[in-house]
Chains A and B, each alone.
Chain A
Amino acid sequence: MTAVFYIASAIAIVSTVMVITRMQPVHSLLYLIVSLLAVSLVFFVLGAPFIAALEVIVYAGAIMVLFVFVIMMLNLGREAAEQERRWIDISMWKGPSLLALVLLALMFYALHSGNPGAVSGRVVSPKEMSIALFGPYLMVVELSSILLLAGLVGAYHLARRETGNEERRRS
């Protein structure tokens, strides 16, 4: 299990280096997803299986999908078609998929070799975490919900289409 920790950490670091050195945003987005999956495996090994699931669902799922949406929206015009043709090329996705295959093998190994979190002394179960979250940390839940509401309102306000009176207000 310690080998799983070190290999997953190495994959996370390598793919993060690839994220900040790629030129195409979609390439680095693929590497970023691999990096988040590797960090999720590290969480699993460290005895936080619920947090590992949250990392995959929220980070690698929701947040990365937002990034993909924005990149797709910004790629308008006639060069989008040839760009799409380049994306299907194998040289683009062979690096991330190789790293993801290593992660898949690691995950099978970690799932088959006994209980989650064999590295850590103790696995913090989702039940224990929920009791703490809705007991002494109830204010954190409320603050997070207010923060998310503020983010929702702010994103809606910013992403509205510019209207005519915007120009008048600015001058």
Chain B
Amino acid sequence: MIGAVPMTHGLMVAGMLFVLGLVGLLVRRNIIYMLMSIEIMLNAAGLAFIVAASRWGQPDGQIMFIVILSTAAAEVAVGLALVLRFYSRFKTLDADVANDMRG
């Protein structure tokens, strides 16, 4: 129990956000949407850590959130650079265009 809100409710919110991000990643074919869905999923994982930190009253979960935050920042920088390269080569943002290899 975290006060009046049970821990399961916080974890349920995190799980729903994660599943929504996963659905967005699987359904949408636009690369920008796929990156946004990855952000949603990382954020949901961080929410689960914060709920756990609140449950036990320890700072460890918040430190894991900082790790997730820096991972997301590095990931989005590289990902958006890849999006720019992708668009300059294929003139579209459809991820299915890039499904063939040249070799």
Q: How far is the CA of A140 from the CA of B70 in the complex (A)?
A: 11
CB of B70 within 8 A of CB of A154, answer: no
CB of A120 within 8 A of CB of B57, answer: yes
Q: A19-B36, A132-B60 are contacts. A154–B50 as well, Cβ < 8 Å?
A: no
CB of A13 within 8 A of CB of B20, answer: yes
Q: How far is the CA of A17 from the CA of B20 in the complex (A)?
A: 7
Consensus secondary structure, chain B interface:
helix
8 A Cβ contacts from B33-89 to A:
33, 35-37, 39-40, 43, 47, 50-51, 53-54, 57-60, 62-63, 65-67, 69-78, 80-85, 87-88
Q: Which one of A17, A32, A58, A119 lies within 8 Å of B5 (CB-CB)?
A: A119
CB of A147 within 8 A of CB of B70, answer: yes
CB of A43 within 8 A of CB of B50, answer: yes
CB distance from B21 to the nearest CB of A (A): 7
Size of B's binding interface in residues, CB under 8 A = 57
Q: Which one of A46, A152, A158 lies within 8 Å of B10 (CB-CB)?
A: A46
Q: Which residues of A contact B101 (CB under 8 A)?
A: none
Size of A's binding interface in residues, CB under 8 A = 65
Q: A147-B71, A151-B78, A162-B88 are contacts. A118–B50 as well, Cβ < 8 Å?
A: no
CB of A119 within 8 A of CB of B4, answer: yes
CB of B4 within 8 A of CB of A48, answer: no
Q: Which one of B35, B63, B78 lies within 8 Å of A137 (CB-CB)?
A: B63
Q: A39-B47, A158-B81 are contacts. A2–B73 as well, Cβ < 8 Å?
A: no
Q: How far is the CA of A46 from the CA of B75 in the complex (A)?
A: 27
Q: Which one of B39, B70, B72, B78 lies within 8 Å of A158 (CB-CB)?
A: B78
